[in-house]
Amino acid sequence: MNQSEGMRINKFLSAAGVCSRREADRLIAAGKVTVAGETAELGTLVSAGMEVKVNGRRVGAVEELASKKKVLLAVNKPVGVVCTTTDNDRAPNIVELIDYPERVYPIGRLDKDSEGLLLLTNQGELVNQILRCENGHEKEYIVRVDKALTPAFLEKLRRGVHLEELQVTTLPCKAEARDKTSFSIILKQGLNRQIRRMCEACGYHVISLKRIRIMNISLRNLHSGAFRNVTAAEQKTLLSLLEEKPKAFTGRSAKTARTEARRKKNYAARQKAYFQRRERDGGAWKREK
């Protein structure tokens, strides 16, 4: 197979609306993808006329991508439904649940125990744009916990919570009480099960968690398990937001940034001392560990 030109197989599967590039890499590594009848490898290129199949099902060819209808859906994911076909427990999958006539897949994830807004699309480049810009753009949730809220708890969420198992401190966020045991929270971060981890670190247990907004797209009055087409106006605003660089966002807490800067400075000093000693001693010694 000529590898000198064409589209990378993971990019092709993403553009064709099969899955994200990351998910495509997993399918390829598992030997579930073929290109022109041959098992694909990471980095395989797809050229015009080559037929691509996933799990024996035809996906299409490069020349068919230009005529593909672009789809962007807002879905109200129910609790108990997963966002990926690779989950071992084989719980109901969001793509199977909505049974959309075009092949679509989720942009990001919402864990099995959570519900609410999830975006599905067949536009691979849009997925990549949103995931690359995920940190720095707002996502809003409604959370209910197992005991009464306190001002100290909400303030701790706002200031940032240290998550020991991830060795990271969450970024400042907005959190406001709704009633005695529920609150709204707006994050600009996408750590795995972040809100649940934040609450647990503060001595609370999450009873329910619902995402109601991603950037400018809101859940509205969608019933659980239902979906709607994202409007042209919403898509225009979304693309405009994606083109903006989030202000003053580093993806790290200020403390983490200072620590990393100090480590880099110390490393540079050690490197300089190492080469100075090596030059002085004629290179007749090995670097100290």
Please report, for the domain that includes residue 27, its CATH number: 3.10.290.10
Range of the domain at 145: 72-243
- Say whether both 38 and 85 belong to one domain: no
218 in a domain, yes or no?
A: yes
- Say whether both 145 and 161 belong to one domain: yes
279 in a domain, yes or no?
A: no
Which amino acids are annotated catalytic? 111
Residues 88-123: tens digit of each pLDDT: 556 788 988 999 988 888 988 899 999 999 999 988
The C-alpha atoms of residue 217 and residue 231 are separated, in whole angstroms, by 9
Segment of 168-182, 239-253, 271-285 carrying the highest mean pLDDT: 168-182
287 in a domain, yes or no?
A: no
Could you tell me the pLDDT band of residue 287, with boundaries at 50, 70 and 90? very low
Buried b (16+ CB within 10 A) or exposed e, 59-74: bbbbeeeeeeeebbbb
Please identify, among 64, 89, 109, the residue that sits at the C-terminal boundary of a domain. Answer: 64
Q: Exposed, middle or buried: residue 94 (CB in 10 Å: 0-12, 13-18, 19+)? A: buried
Residue 82 has pLDDT above 80, yes or no: yes
- Say whether both 78 and 206 belong to one domain: yes
pTM, two decimal places: 0.70
The structural domain count of the chain equals 2
